[in-house]
Structure 1
Amino acid sequence: MIDWIFLISFYVISYTSKKGVLIIVNSPPKPITISAFKYDNRLHYSWDTQLIEETERYVLVNGQAGRQLAHHTKNKIFVCSTPSLEYFSLKDAFTVNIDIHPNGNLEYYCNIALPPEYEDGNVSFIDLDVDIVKIPGEDWKMVDYDEFIVNSRLLNYPEDIFQFVEHSVDKLKSRIEKQSFPFDGFFDAYIDEIIINQSTSEGRQL
């Protein structure tokens, strides 16, 4: 038996050759709110997205261009001009945000965090400051370690958080270098679909 799965506007079309049956599952996007907290459980920032896929292992969402990000620490609202593909592992200590620019360039922002939790249409996680990022034309690099040191004093991080962050950074770097899941091409089809959808949406507005 051969199963083929295609993504069309994030609806699933599944074809099973053994039965010769074409099954179409078509449902409106499910809204998902993302909330990031600091170690003292203070809400840091939040924004709304649309669900693409949820499994026991991860939640994958699409951030629409023009979405608002509420930065509660700074008491400001930011408007995100580009669409994004966002991956939240429910098992591992990182998140992945991919900003998709109009020219096709991709900007990766991986947040070291306590494993996110997913419940009732909400993804929440504890932000541990350190990020691994990649912008077009540059290599992957770690940023905001100085912020981690400052917050470790302000928020009284225990010693095991230092070890946890160090281990999590090494593990994430290893995945990226070895092109292990989800850095093994898993994101590619979803990124292509977001680009197509964005181009179609802009075309309708002309």
Structure 2
Amino acid sequence: MNAPKIGSWVEVQSYKHNGTLHRVWEETMILQSTKKFYIGVNDKTKVTEYDGYTWRTKEPAVCYFHSNYWFNVIGTVRTDGVHYYCNMSSPILYDQGALKYIDYDLDIKVYPDMTIKLLDEDEYELHKEQMNYPEIIERILFEQIDILKQMIYQKKGPFVPGFLDYWYERFLTYRS
């Protein structure tokens, strides 16, 4: 099985549908690595945008990537509670030392009270036209949005209470 080892650092690379590199997170530590999913954590990691602009994340993030789902989930713990940012994307692929996916613009923000908001619909419509997203992609993405919402409402997968705390504590153990 070609997969990152637990405790290893990998890049996370986000691409656009036309194959261009969109964004790179320099270092994410892998804490769970199976045939179906990866869990990683990063903290104040360097991010490089498609235009070369760089910045650092502000807080620790627990990342959930799945090889069957068309989304990934990034969770952060802030002073007002747990926030999730869910990217609608192709399933994750581990290739040449990096986790890779295609970003399909639509995002779902989950607030500490578990309310959700669909984001970037205008960006999705623009890119769908510019990059000629096939009709099947749109159908898959909206089916996956429904699956993601069910996971959120049922508190499954990365939305299980305590999930972020557990994986962040493991991250601190590996780092020390």
Q: Contact conserved, 2:61 with 2:75, CA < 8 A, in 1?
A: yes
Superposed CA offset, 1:32-70 (max 9, x none): 110000000100000121111101110111112x21111
The match for 2:62 among 63, 68, 85 is: 85
Structure-2 separation of matches of 1:136 and 1:175: 15
TM-score using structure 2 length? 0.85
AA partner of residue 133 (structure 1): K
How big is the shift at 1:138? 6.6
User: Match for 1:46 among 5, 24, 27?
Assistant: 24
Task: Tell me which residue corresponds to 1:176.
Answer: 152
1:29 matched residue in structure 2: 7
Q: Which runs of 5+ in 2 are unaligned?
A: none
1:155 positional shift: 0.7
CA distance in 1, matches of 2:125, 2:6: 43
Q: Relative CO higher for 1 or 2, CA cutoff 8 Å, sep ≥ 6?
A: 2
Tell me, yes or no, if the aligned pair for 2:6 and 2:30 is still in contact at 8 Å: no
Q: Normalised by the size of structure 1, how large is the TM-score?
A: 0.74
Q: What is the 5 A alignment of 1:117-132?
A: 117-132=93-108
Deviation at 1:186, TM superposition (A): 6.6
Report the 3-state secondary structure (helix = DSSP H, G, I; strand = E; otherwise coil) of the residue aligned with 1:81: coil
Flag the 1:125–1:142 CA change in 2: closer, same or farther, 3 A.
Answer: same
Aligned partner letter, 1:172: L
Counterpart code for 1:54: S
Relative to 1, partners in 2 of residues 1:126 and 1:138: Cα closer, same or farther, differing over 3 Å?
same
The alpha-carbon distance between structure 1 residues 188 and 28, as it changes in their structure 2 partners (threshold 3 A), is: closer
Q: How far apart are residue 29 of structure 1 and its match? A: 2.9
Runs (4+) of structure 1 exceeding 3 A deviation are 135-138
In structure 1, stretches of 5+ residues that fail to align are 1-26, 202-206
The 1:191–1:105 alpha-carbon spacing in structure 2 relative to 1, beyond 3 Å, is farther
> How far apart are the structure 2 equivalents of 1:67 and 1:112?
22
1:80 deviates by 0.8
1:93 and 1:186 map into 2 onto residues whose CA distance is 24
Aligned match for 1:140, one of 109, 113, 116: 116
Shift of 1:189: 4.3
Instruction: Give SS of 1:70's match.
Output: strand
Percentage identity across paired residues of the two chains: 25
Structure showing greater radius of gyration is 1
